[in-house]
Structure 1
Amino acid sequence: MALHNRVSRKELKERILKDTTPRTTLSFYHYFKIDEPVSYRNQLYKALSVIGVLGRIYIANEGINAQISVPAGNFEQLKQALYAHQLPEDLRLNIAVDDDGKSFYVLDIKVREKIVADGINDPGFDMSKKGKYVNAQEFNSLTELSDTIVIDMRNHYEYEVGHFEKAIEVPSDTFRDQLPMAVDMMQEHIDKNIIMYCTGGIRCEKASAYLLHKGFKNVYHLEGGIINYVNQVKEKGIKNKFHGKNFVFDQRLGERVTDEVIARCHQCGKPADTHVNCANDACHLLFIQCEECRKQYDGCCSVNCQEFIHLPEEEQKERRKGIDLGRNVFNKSRSRLRNLIK
């Protein structure tokens, strides 16, 4: 069988939107040694393809990081496939909080240098020496203490639409930049309890190990991240300390946790927390847009982009040539990003 997708992504997306098969969206990660990542990747691709798994998986010498969806009827087959590929039977599978089954439409498994880019080059860093796990109840209890600091280890646009009470934002677009920033920001709190959290646990687990490496002592991280926390809150009737929406990196771009809307439209300033990508494929900026602005600007981030999408298709293609969008996200602190509506 082919070890990669051969159908156009547009066609695949249309297929999944029409497909009525119930699907379950989930995520998982596991830090463990993989001696031959390419071989591991190819074997896993074969195993997951035959049971209809879609999603994004990164493989590296340090482990695996996955966000996927699977036909609900094949969930047990998925678990057996993972166990057969060196993953433990107590592997935590984070089931999506707010799921329509349309999160992914292609299976991408890529070999990377690391499963989460961290910029750490120190040979003395040891990922096995990580902070202490806390569950939802323990998290709530620790955050009630005056000597506890809560740190959000997600990007600024994730924090903007939803976060825990009293959580400190480390304002950055990348985890690589956040790690040294978090160390600097926490120097005055080095003797306090520090709890770190992220979406599913992979970033805060590594961040907890990094803070310990830098001399911090009382470091904790939320087991399974926001997703596992919210599921525990629902299952056990625990007080929920997360407010707003949980940003996710798939077609949904967010899971509704509470009805609160704590962010604002980046164009008009009205309460809104729906992330969209600019409809102009030469821009594709990730930003927050309310329904009124979506209609007014045809899903674009600016008048310039709105005018662009109404050009003849061939002219649009010609103008898009050579454009490298990179990580194109809206950040109010960076003037280079967009001339949004004045």
Structure 2
Amino acid sequence: MSSHDYRVLLYYKYVDLPDFEEYAEDHLQFCKDLGLKGRIIVAPEGLNGTVSGTVEQVEQYMDYVRSDKRFADIEFKIDEAEGHTFKKMHVRPKPELVTWRIENDDIDPKSFGGQHLKPKEFYDMLQDEDTIVIDGRNEYEYRVGHFRDAIRPEVEHSREFPEWIAENADQWKDKKVLTYCTGGIRCEKLTGILKKNGVDDVYQLEGGINSYSKDPDVQGRLFDGKCYVFDERVTVPVNQTEEDVVIAQCEHCGKSEDRYINCSNPVCNRQYVCCEDCEQEHHAACTTECLEHPENRWDAERGKQIDKYDHMPS
């Protein structure tokens, strides 16, 4: 097969799905029979997933999803790939599509949230000096790439966002606030959380960074670094112009680098930025303690880790 015979799909849709557990079971069987790989979450509030497969497989999958009238208009974001970007196929029923854990959650993205902006509209608004830009992702995603001058969230997980917003919302109440995330799903409730905290003039990037990078009018401009993705690619390019830069640094030597690896200590398994030279020198361990850990999985003979656990941040 050529390098363009595989596709990666990224998608979500908020819709009432009372039969979510049965839907998840049937969905998993269909995906396995088809030969797809990826991660899908099914919840009472809808569907959120990313899968990889051949062109034929993903076409059949999109037809299957849209055959359910509840998902007839679902939007799929499509990337080309050299092969599968996942090792296995998971479809998990969960209480939420994104792990917010909001007490007494009454934020319904279908009726309450920020105004959607097309990439060109978002790009134009980014250049307004009175606009606040909030990254709706986690710190490790921001570290390797983000929109210029975007506020870095002081969070490690999505569930920490509601408290962080509540603590900071007062300073944004008289501002125009833009939000963005990888594919758009986190902003659906993030903008609602902002509005619940009195921030009324709120907007979100429709389709997220994924759609922004492909828009011919903006070509990823004003995004520095790469976009973190939750598959084996780990990061993907965004800025398609000469403005493209590397903004992260190797944690060992400080060299400009946007390459993430998993720590070779399975008890830690932290993803961190590391250049190829330091991966070999430090045996892929993020600290001395991890290097000396008795379960360290570095294979000195092969110069690589014996195995890597899947990284599934929330």
Task: Report deviation, 1:94.
Answer: 1.6
- 2:86 match: secondary structure: coil
Residue 78, structure 1, aligned to residue 61, structure 2: yes
**Stretch of structure 1 that moved more, 51-60 or 69-78:** 69-78
Task: Report deviation, 1:20.
Answer: 8.3
Task: Report deviation, 1:191.
Answer: 2.0
TM-score with structure 1 setting the length? 0.80
- 2:116 match: secondary structure: strand
**C-alpha spacing 1:312/1:266, structure 2 compared with 1 (3 Å):** closer
- Higher strand fraction: Structure 1 or Structure 2? 2
Question: Does structure 1 conserve the Cα–Cα contact (< 8 Å) formed by 2:290 and 2:296?
Answer: no
Task: Report deviation, 1:172.
Answer: 0.8
Task: Report deviation, 1:239.
Answer: 6.2
Task: Report deviation, 1:297.
Answer: 1.4
2:248 — aligned with what?
263
2:49 — aligned with what?
66
Pairing partner for 2:287 from 293, 298, 302 = 302
1:188 — aligned with what?
171
**C-alpha spacing 1:307/1:140, structure 2 compared with 1 (3 Å):** same
Q: Percent identity?
A: 31
Question: Does structure 2 conserve the Cα–Cα contact (< 8 Å) formed by 1:102 and 1:252?
Answer: no
Give the residue type in structure 2 aligned to 1:188: Q
1:107 — aligned with what?
89
Residue 242, structure 1, aligned to residue 242, structure 2: no
Name stretches of at least 5 consecutive residues in structure 1 with no aligned partner. 1-17, 314-325, 330-342
1:339 — aligned with what?
none
Q: Distance in 2 between matches of 1:100 and 1:151?
A: 33
Q: Distance in 2 between matches of 1:20 and 1:217?
A: 46
1:215 — aligned with what?
198
Q: Distance in 2 between matches of 1:42 and 1:29?
A: 18
Name stretches of at least 5 consecutive residues in structure 2 with no aligned partner. 299-310
Q: Distance in 1 between matches of 2:12 and 2:297?
A: 44
Q: Distance in 1 between matches of 2:37 and 2:2?
A: 13
2:103 — aligned with what?
121
**How big is the alpha-carbon RMSD for the aligned residues of Structure 1 and Structure 2?**
2.7
- 1:110 match: secondary structure: strand
Give the residue type in structure 1 aligned to 2:222: K
Question: Does structure 1 conserve the Cα–Cα contact (< 8 Å) formed by 2:39 and 2:89?
Answer: yes
**C-alpha spacing 1:69/1:112, structure 2 compared with 1 (3 Å):** same
Corresponding residue pairs, total: 298
Q: Distance in 1 between matches of 2:132 and 2:152?
A: 11
Q: Distance in 1 between matches of 2:294 and 2:313?
A: 18
Pairing partner for 2:21 from 18, 34, 38 = 38
Q: Distance in 2 between matches of 1:195 and 1:146?
A: 12
Q: Distance in 1 between matches of 2:92 and 2:159?
A: 19
